Each structure stands twice: as structure tokens, then as C-alpha cells.
Structure 1
């Protein structure tokens, strides 16, 4: 038996996928260089805005779990489309909106790779990138660098403790039907 022969079908799947991921990073960098957005926070913000598609997918899945009867009964009571959305659908979606905002912001807060690629200039940086750049220069011991990393985690921990009930409600919102 040839070693790794069982992985051949997976290689046919993963190789084009990895090649496309690498190509997408090249396209991002070329477009940003052409628009003059490299070494600017605006370029990083544009990359983060492109990640909204995952949130749209989660919202679409959640909207499908909302019963149509709620919408129909509101329309029978004389509500317009906007009023149905703002008075009925939006209050139901608040936990999911909060959870998606939190997941997205934590991912962007902790992101290291994209700021490293896009923000090559040392004058424009994010907090995680600043810690990385200071490790060899100003921080000589592991305890100093770990203290800096813990400082970056404090805002996330505070937000979690303040809004833990909404987070749990948002994560379990579509899980139970009844």
C-alpha cells in the first residue's frame, strides 16, 4: 500500500482551495497597492468589512427559523413592512445581532496576520502587532510579553462579563424549537 494513498481524494479537494486562498491574498494586496491603501488603517478596515458575509449567512439562517405566522399576524393587524421589521423581527434578532457583533469584533481585535501584511509601516499598527514588534526591542523577558498580552485580553473579558446573558441567549437562539 502506498503511504498517504487514502488522502489522495482529499488532496484533490484541498489543493485548489489553498491555491485560491493564496491568490485571494495576492489580489487583496495588489488592489490595495493600486488604491494606495497599503500602510493605512483604511485598507485594513476594508478587509474587515469583507468579512461581513459570514454574519449575513448567520442572519439568513436565523431569519429562516422565525415563524411566518408572526409576520402574517402583524400584517393582519395593519402593520407596514417597515413596522413589521422594526417592531417584531428586530427585537427577536437582538441576541443574534449582539452575538455576531461580539464574535466579529473579537476576531478583529485579536487578528495578527492581516495587520502584519497590510500595515507594514511601523507608524500605523494594531495592539497585537505593536506587542509583536516590541518583543525583541523593549521586552526582554517572557513575563513582560505575557503581561502585555494579558492587557490586550482585559477589554474582551470585561465585555464578556457585562453581556454574558445576551451572548448565551444569542448562541442558543435558534437551537431550540418549541
Structure 2
């Protein structure tokens, strides 16, 4: 009976595995197809883009005019720098403050601990864009409109709740024996956090970094509201200058979008192993 059932189980397992791979492959195709379409058409002439948007660049349609215009525009370079500054500063602050808050919430019992955790969970459920008017009024009162500081502060507030909730699960999983042994050796709390806890939760930190960076880099809403001036425009907002009411420079638009995707792809390539480890570790908790 068991021998007869074994081939059936194997066939069922193979079928389920094939189905899972088919679904994941379809999802990857759905996600990567638009990116591939943008990259392919960024190397075409305007006529080639409209005549055959799904085809590969040919000798007749190959053109680097869009990249020449984008790379030759000093304002675009300045926008890239703005995006890099805002994203990197926000990311470092979110990871550092989020990890420290997760350590405090999981390691120390204090009055209002659960209430604070609930407050952070509420920050995940309520989109920050609902408070755009109040945020704008606050930035006007603080004289921070058209500054990168305004964007950094908003993105820190936006990313902290999710970072704390994710990192709290991983910090809580650090063996208590390691921390107690360090305390017995006279190690201070800051050194325990930075030298014992942080190295053990690197996969979670990488996961939070990727999930936090993408919405910050791609955001158009808050740069348009809080920092629309030429000196503070980000690359996502800057691409709009190639979009006109009557004529759109699609070569430049697609080239700028292709270059804007590069930092995210590089970050994923660098942290892909840690990202996958963090996701799979969170799946079994």
C-alpha cells in the first residue's frame, strides 16, 4: 500500500512544485516585462518606439539620442544627486532608529510599551499621504518647503513603523543567553546592540533596506508637494520636464527612467542574498 502510494505522492509533489514555479515565473514576467520594455525602447528612435514598441532595436531604429540628452543635461545630474542624498540619508536613519526602537520595545519592559507598539502598527495601516495637507502646513511653519530636509523627515516618518515591526520579530529571536553572557562580561547595552544584536539581524536589515528604498526613490507625491523647485527636484519628478502638453520627448523620458532604475537594481544585486535570507527567515517565524 505504501509502495503504491509513494509514486502518487511524488507525482503530486512534482505537480505542486511545477504549479508553484509556473505562478512565480508568470509573476516575474509580469514584473520584469515593463522594465524590459522601457530599457529596449530607450535605445530606439522616436519612430522605432511607435512603429514596433515590442521589438528589439535594429540598425535602422537604434539611437542613443535620449541618453545623450539626459547625460548632457546638468540639471538631471543634480536631480540624481538629490535623489541619492534623500534616499541614503532617509534609509540610514530609518534602519538605525528602527533597529534601536525594535531593541527597546523587545528587550525592555516599560510603561506604555504595548501602547507604543500599537501606535507604530497604526502608522502602517494609515497611509501617510492622508496627512499631506497637515504635513505641508507644518513644513511651511518650519520654513522647510523646497528643502531636502523636508523630504527626509517625511520619509523617515513613513518608513519607521514598518521597519520597527519587521525588526522587532528578528530582535526578539536573538538568543537571550548571548545577551546575558555579554552583560555578565561587563559589556554595555550599546555594545551589546551594535556588536551582538545587529550582526545577527543583518538579513532583516537588508530586507527592510530594500523595501524602504524603493518607495522613497520612486516617490513623486511628496517631492511635487514639498520640494518642487529646480534646486530640490528628485529624478522621479525631474523626468516630468520631458513630458509636454503637445509633444513628449519619449527618448529622453525612457532614458531617464532607465537610469533611474539602475540604483534599485544595483542595491538588489548587492543585498539579494541577505534579502532572500531575511524573507525566508521571516516566513518560518
Deviation at 1:176, TM superposition (A): 2.8
Task: Tell me the matched-pair count.
Answer: 159
Deviation at 1:90, TM superposition (A): 1.7
- Kept after mapping to 1: 8 A contact 2:242/2:250: no
2:156 is equivalent to residue 49 of structure 1: yes
Deviation at 1:134, TM superposition (A): 2.4
- Structure 2 unaligned regions, length at least 5: 1-124
Deviation at 1:64, TM superposition (A): 2.2
Q: Distance in 1 between matches of 2:270 and 2:211?
A: 15
Q: Distance in 2 between matches of 1:108 and 1:89?
A: 27
- Structure 1 unaligned regions, length at least 5: 1-16
- Taking the TM superposition and a 5 Å limit, the aligned residue runs for 1:122-137 are 122-136=230-244
Q: Distance in 1 between matches of 2:283 and 2:196?
A: 20
Q: What residue is the counterpart of 1:31 in the other structure?
A: 138
2:162 is equivalent to residue 59 of structure 1: no
Q: Secondary structure at the match of 1:49?
A: helix
Q: Secondary structure at the match of 1:48?
A: helix
- Taking the TM superposition and a 5 Å limit, the aligned residue runs for 1:88-127 are 88-127=196-235
Q: What residue is the counterpart of 1:11 in the other structure?
A: none
After superposition, the CA RMSD in angstroms is 2.8
Deviations 1:113-160 (A, max 9, x none): 1101111323320001000122228x7343432222111001211221
Q: What residue is the counterpart of 2:275 in the other structure?
A: 167
Q: Distance in 1 between matches of 2:268 and 2:129?
A: 32
Deviation at 1:37, TM superposition (A): 1.0
Q: Distance in 2 between matches of 1:117 and 1:55?
A: 25
Deviation at 1:80, TM superposition (A): 4.5
Q: What residue is the counterpart of 1:154 in the other structure?
A: 262
Q: Distance in 2 between matches of 1:38 and 1:77?
A: 50
- Kept after mapping to 2: 8 A contact 1:98/1:167: yes
4+ runs deviating over 6 angstroms: none
- Kept after mapping to 2: 8 A contact 1:65/1:174: no
- Taking the TM superposition and a 5 Å limit, the aligned residue runs for 1:81-92 are 81-92=189-200
Q: Secondary structure at the match of 1:173?
A: helix
